[in-house]
Amino acid sequence: MINEILDFWPIILLIATIGLVIYLRPVLKGYLGEWTIRFILLFLNKKEYKVLNNVRVFHNGIMAQIDHLIVSRFGVFVIETKNYYGWIFGSENAYQWKQVIFNNTYEFYNPIRQNLGHIKALQANLNQYPALDYFPIVVFTRGSKLKVNSSFPVIKYYYLLKTIKSVTEINISEEIRDDIYNLLLKINGNKPLITPKKATDEDYINNNKNICPYCGNTLISKSGKYGKFLGCADYPRCTYTKKIG
């Protein structure tokens, strides 16, 4: 019996590998988009632009996870990466945007609102620099077609460097830029010494806060095989879900 199983181990290994790839596919897609942007940002002048990836800062006990930050004399660029394809429809003030693939429509949390929330968390942590300028940018990395109405940049990845370099008005000195960069390195991922009591899942939903207890992003209503549920807007990096009803 054991020998028969051993004869088929290549097939078993192949099936297991395919299953693992299918299971991890959403996560791998998200990381692929972020690494694409990381590679593009390598082409910025390192003496002028200080790049930070996957920055986590806390504000009011909630963590904001920022894909990419660029600290420069022109201000701070806050980049939210979306690795979506298909037609993307949305507006600056809408709560949710739509992704249309053939006859299928999917909703996801407005990345502009998400990015502006990240800026609020940054402003709270960098409150000693009240005159600092922040520039939110939403970048799509896959074969998507953008139909978005926004005063903030919502762009494809190949316009990213041009968008960053279009800001030419100096906002801070090199010394302050380096101080901000070093401060962000220090606080990245570190919880404040005093944090509020951690709320339960029911507290977040019953109080209509709609905040993910895992990562601090917004919970949005989604539909699945078994009906509607609340899911984290930062999926696939965060897989928190909560059944409705």
Summarised one tens digit per residue, pLDDT across range 29-67 is 555 778 899 999 999 999 999 999 999 999 887 889 999
Question: Rounded to an integer, what distance in angstroms lies between the CA atom of residue 209 and that of residue 218?
Answer: 8
Q: Do 222 and 232 contact (CB within 8 A), yes or no?
A: no
pLDDT value of position 223: 73
Instruction: Provide the 3-class DSSP secondary structure of residue 49.
Output: strand
CA angle (114 as vertex; 109, 116 as ends), nearest 5: 145
Euclidean distance between CA atoms 216 and 120, whole angstroms: 13
How long is the chain?
Answer: 245
Bridge partners (DSSP) of residue 80 are: 138
Based on DSSP, count helices (H) and strands (E) in the chain, helices before strands. Answer: 6, 12
Q: What does the pLDDT read at residue 170?
A: 97
pLDDT (0 to 100) of residue 99: 94
Query: Both tokens of residue 78?
Result: 């806050």
Residue from 85, 83, 92, 80 nearest 148 by CA: 92
pLDDT tens-place string over residues 93-135: 999 999 999 889 999 999 999 999 999 999 999 999 999 999 9
What distance in Å separates the CA atoms of residue 114 and residue 233, rounded to the nearest whole number?
9
CA distance 137 to 240: 25
Q: What is the pLDDT of residues 172-203, one digit of tens each?
A: 999 999 999 999 999 998 765 444 444 444 44
pLDDT at 140: 95
In one letter, which amino acid is 27? V
pTM for this model (two decimals):
0.71
